[in-house]
Amino acid sequence: MNKLKLVFATNNKNKLKEVQAMLTNFEIISLADINCFDDIPETADTLTGNAILKANYITEKYGLNCFADDTGLEVKALNNEPGVYSARYAGAENNSENNMRKLLNNLGDNTNRKAQFKTAIALNINKKQFIFEGICKGQILKQQQGTDGFGYDPIFMPDGYKKSFAEMTIKEKGAISHRGKAIQQLVDFLNNNF
């Protein structure tokens, strides 16, 4: 039986690996696999808006079923910064170390370290669009812990845990993370409808 092929509109190999591990009944391919090296605009002021922009770009340009996500870290004491600017918080080069350093500097000794990761996914399939959203609440640590994961994982500790995302296995993180929750909704939807 042929697996349904879906383009995941990303060039982030870590994200792709996480998603492929959760969507084993489908063939998940990346932008590189369809020779898309365009800088897809992310100009919306919400995560959902950016996910829609990316998914629509692929569907309109390549005519393929696809899904796109946008993820942001929202820190309560920083008025939900960095939000849609999470990947380029410290500048356009998307440097995780610099982003974490800027966030920790901006937060300083603030005792309110509440934060949440939020993922929005836009799925374009058979000329219809569906939106899924996942949230993972937690705290910003005072310093980095762990070496796995990517992005802000070393400084984010999910509620109910005593370790950062960067100290968890892909499977552990996937079971509770914002992306994991949004992807699980996507998986359930695809499994029930395709």
| pLDDT tens string 123-140 | 999 999 999 999 999 999
Of the ranges 9-23, 27-41, 158-172, which one carries the lowest mean pLDDT score?
9-23
For residue 153, the 8-state DSSP code is G
**Predicted TM-score (pTM) of this structure:** 0.86
| pLDDT tens string 44-55 | 999 999 999 999
Q: Is the pLDDT of residue 2 over 80?
A: no
Question: Which residue, among 147, 154, 74, 176, has the nearest Cα to 115 in the 3D structure?
Answer: 74
Catalytic residue among 70, 148, 153, 159: 70
pLDDT of residue 17: 86
For residue 155, the 8-state DSSP code is G
Inter-residue long-range contacts of 88-97, CB under 8 Å, 24+ positions, other chains counted: 96/150, 96/151, 96/152
Q: Is the pLDDT of residue 155 over 90?
A: yes
- Return the higher-pLDDT residue of 3 and 189: 189
**Would you state the structure tokens that stand for residue 89, as one six-digit string?**
């918080």
Buried b or exposed e, range 127-159, using 16+ CB within 10 angstroms: eeebebbbebebbbbeebbbebbebbbbbbbbe
Side chain identity, residue 21: A
- Return the higher-pLDDT residue of 78 and 93: 78
- Return the higher-pLDDT residue of 174 and 122: 122
What average pLDDT does the segment 139-155 reach? Answer: 94
pLDDT of residue 41: 85
| pLDDT tens string 82-104 | 999 998 899 987 789 999 999 99
- Residues pairing with 29 in the sheet: 7
Percent of the chain residues past pLDDT 90, beyond the cut:
75
- Residues pairing with 122 in the sheet: 68, 131
| Active site (annotated) includes residue 159 | no
Written in H, E and C, the secondary structure of 27-95 is EEECCHHHCCCCCCCCCCCCHHHHHHHHHHHHHHHHCCCEEEEEEEEEEHHHCCEEHHHHHHCCCCCCC
pLDDT confidence band for 1 (50 / 70 / 90): low
| pLDDT tens string 55-66 | 999 999 999 999
What residue ranges define each of the domains in the chain, with the CATH number in brackets? Answer: 4-193 (3.90.950.10)
